A and B are shown apart, each in its own frame.
Chain A
Amino acid sequence: MNPVRIIGVGSPFGQDRLAWQVIESLEAAGIQDHFPPGRLSLHSSDRPGAALLELMRGAEFVLIVDALQSGARAGTILCLNPDQLATTPGFISSHDFGVSAALELGLVLGDLPARVRVIAVEMDPGQSSSRPLPAALVQQLHEVIINEIKS
């Protein structure tokens, strides 16, 4: 059981694939090599619903990466606590039980890891999901993620 987990929530199609692309970029950059073996793990999850709670179980710190559609400038990055999610407009959920509902349920049940942060990235409606994410955005996201883990 890895104490630190980065979970990309999305889907294999369209702009909602963004978080999967972020996880792929972290893997390609060898982020796990910067931590002791078994310390950090990467996961891509396709709209897990309430199963998100299971994906987080046993972890000390979880970073959830998710695509955001709020009308902000494409590439805008928000770092949020679980209790800030419900009031954040525009979270994409292909099914009704999305990330915010799962985290709210986890909060009520006392089932969340000691620390959970959500990194929400404003998607670019004009960006094809078959193309790589802009290099500058990837670099910025890597810096944000590493800072979150270090803090």
Chain B
Amino acid sequence: MTDERDVTVNVPMLARVEGEGALHLHIQGDRIEELRLQIYEPPRLFEKFLEGRHYDEVPDIVARICGICPVAYQMSAVQALEDIIGFTPQPWLRAMRRLMYCGEWIESHSLHIHLLAAPDYLGFDNAAALARDYPDEVRRGLRLQLLGNDIIKLLGGRSVHPVGVCVAGFHRAPELSQVTALSLRLQEALDDAAALITWVAGFDLPQDEQDFTCVAMRHRHEYPMNEGRLISSAGLDIAVDEFADHFQEHQVPHSTALHALLHGHPYLVGPLARLNLNLDHVPPALRGLLDATGINFPSRNMFHSIVARAAEIYLAIHEAKTLLDAYQYPSASRVEVQMPAGIGYGCTEAPRGILWQRIAVDDQGLIEQATIIPPTSQNQARIEEDLRLSLQGLGLHHDDALLRLHGEKVIRNYDPCISCATHFLKLDVTGR
């Protein structure tokens, strides 16, 4: 072995991420010569599928983009379409959309923590191996995931690719008996969520402080989900329709997903960015739980993302219970609207971060053009930046297996949804 290592590490297919991608890493001596996060799922082309379709079809079509976060695609889409109409959701509709989003955050975050990320921190290869030593924790995760699914089902008819969402309403309103039963389960789940925060905060999380820009939505009165302005930790404060003036998408040769930059620089979206920028909207009980972890939020350690996810599960359960306890059966679940020709903008907080859409409709109510910018696409440049910093921080002298594992941990922190972004990991390390 010589002092000057020239090594290539390849993770040809990333495990425990949503979708398919790879990591190529070329190390020469003490330098990373090349690092490429390759997303090779074929582009899904949903933006093109929408062209020529009636606006009424949009919520059901975009729900097909992802089996994990369909609600996010539906919510940003109806917001963009309602922006064209000039429609403002009445309180019942606003509350039910927020409730449905709570369901998706609970379901998606629970899946990620228990089945995809926790094995990384507790030294297991997969969720089944984890379940042999931590059966109660894994059962808790499955219970929370099911609860999230059932909230989505309450409004969407089913949890995967729900069909209940429409422009200016829902196709049907939940019955009071369904609401009461779910509210009881939410009360019990708060204890599960509190224990989950303590559990993940106790993991041996690497200390890796980095300088990065957080981007999230911001609402005057509440933790952001369905509405608000776009803000950043660097002082950005814009309306949703100003997104394209500040954020630029560009293609990189090694990925079928577009990279996005804010003023030319990588940025972070997702639970840690959201929590960092909206700590003042966290319920007091959750603030107490977070303080007890000993972690100082806002945090600049990406490995605290798993704690932020657990915190958002607690927040979403708390929020969902509040919304359900105030539930009243509406006189109508949707409003009749007329769609004029025009361009609308929508942005909501998907589990993995902001999901921005621009939709143009013609005078027949048909979609002329659609742009959909999912969170994983936005996080790609930040993931590559984080990988460089984290691997250099770890030390490039370590063996390939350790570099590979650490790289995968870094990537999984972002809970990348590659299927959504393809528009994601195999590690491939060369050189040394």
Contacts of B278 in A (CB 8 A): none
B341 on the A face (CB < 8 A): no
B112 to chain A, nearest CB (A): 10
A108 touches B160 (CB 8 A): no
Q: Please measure, in the bound complex, the distance between the C-alpha atom of A104 and the C-alpha atom of B127, giving whole angstroms.
A: 9
Q: A95's contact among B64, B68, B126, B159, by CB below 8 Å, is which?
A: B68
Q: B127's contact among A95, A97, A107, by CB below 8 Å, is which?
A: A97
Question: Which residues in window 40-66 of A have CB below 8 A to B?
Answer: 45-51, 53-54
Q: B19's contact among A49, A95, A104, by CB below 8 Å, is which?
A: A95
Q: Please measure, in the bound complex, the distance between the C-alpha atom of A97 and the C-alpha atom of B117, giving whole angstroms.
A: 12
B15 on the A face (CB < 8 A): yes
B160 touches A105 (CB 8 A): no
Contacts of A109 in B (CB 8 A): 131, 135, 138-139
A101 on the B face (CB < 8 A): yes
A94 on the B face (CB < 8 A): yes
Q: Please measure, in the bound complex, the distance between the C-alpha atom of A53 and the C-alpha atom of B149, giving whole angstroms.
A: 13
Q: Please measure, in the bound complex, the distance between the C-alpha atom of A47 and the C-alpha atom of B17, giving whole angstroms.
A: 15
Contacts of B139 in A (CB 8 A): 109
B67 touches A105 (CB 8 A): no
Q: Please measure, in the bound complex, the distance between the C-alpha atom of A6 and the C-alpha atom of B138, giving whole angstroms.
A: 26
Q: Mark A54-88, 1 if CB is under 8 A from B, else 0.
A: 10000000000000000000000000000000000
A46-B160, A105-B127 known; A95+B419 contact, CB < 8 A: yes
A105 touches B149 (CB 8 A): no
B263 on the A face (CB < 8 A): no
Q: Please measure, in the bound complex, the distance between the C-alpha atom of A96 and the C-alpha atom of B64, giving whole angstroms.
A: 17
Q: Please measure, in the bound complex, the distance between the C-alpha atom of A49 and the C-alpha atom of B64, giving whole angstroms.
A: 16
Question: Which residues in window 15-31 of B have CB below 8 A to A?
Answer: 15-19
B115 on the A face (CB < 8 A): yes
Contacts of B128 in A (CB 8 A): 101, 104-105, 107-108
B132 on the A face (CB < 8 A): yes
Q: Please measure, in the bound complex, the distance between the C-alpha atom of A50 and the C-alpha atom of B19, giving whole angstroms.
A: 16
B75 on the A face (CB < 8 A): no
A43 to chain B, nearest CB (A): 11
A12 on the B face (CB < 8 A): yes
Q: A50's contact among B16, B145, B419, by CB below 8 Å, is which?
A: B145
Q: B111's contact among A13, A45, A47, A49, by CB below 8 Å, is which?
A: A49
Tell me the nearest residue of chain B to A12, going by C-beta.
B64
Contacts of A50 in B (CB 8 A): 111, 115, 127, 142, 145
B116 on the A face (CB < 8 A): yes
A54 touches B146 (CB 8 A): yes
Q: Please measure, in the bound complex, the distance between the C-alpha atom of A58 and the C-alpha atom of B429, giving whole angstroms.
A: 47
A105-B138, A108-B132, A109-B138 known; A51+B67 contact, CB < 8 A: no
Q: Please measure, in the bound complex, the distance between the C-alpha atom of A46 and the C-alpha atom of B161, giving whole angstroms.
A: 8
Q: Mark B220-259, 1 if CB is under 8 A from A, else 0.
A: 0000000000000000000000000000000000000000
29 A-B residue pairs with CB within 8 Å:
A11-B67, A46-B67, A46-B161, A47-B160, A49-B67, A50-B111, A50-B115, A50-B142, A51-B146, A51-B159, A95-B68, A96-B15, A96-B17, A96-B19, A96-B116, A97-B111, A97-B115, A97-B116, A97-B127, A101-B115, A101-B126, A101-B127, A101-B128, A104-B128, A105-B115, A105-B138, A108-B132, A108-B135, A109-B131
User: A: which residues have CB within 8 A of B?
Assistant: 11-13, 45-51, 53-54, 94-97, 101, 104-105, 107-109
Query: A94-B67, A97-B111, A108-B128 given. 5 additional CB < 8 A pairs?
Result: A51-B160, A101-B127, A101-B128, A105-B127, A108-B131
User: B: which residues have CB within 8 A of A?
Assistant: 15-19, 64, 67-68, 111, 115-116, 126-128, 131-132, 135, 138-139, 142, 145-146, 149, 159-161, 419
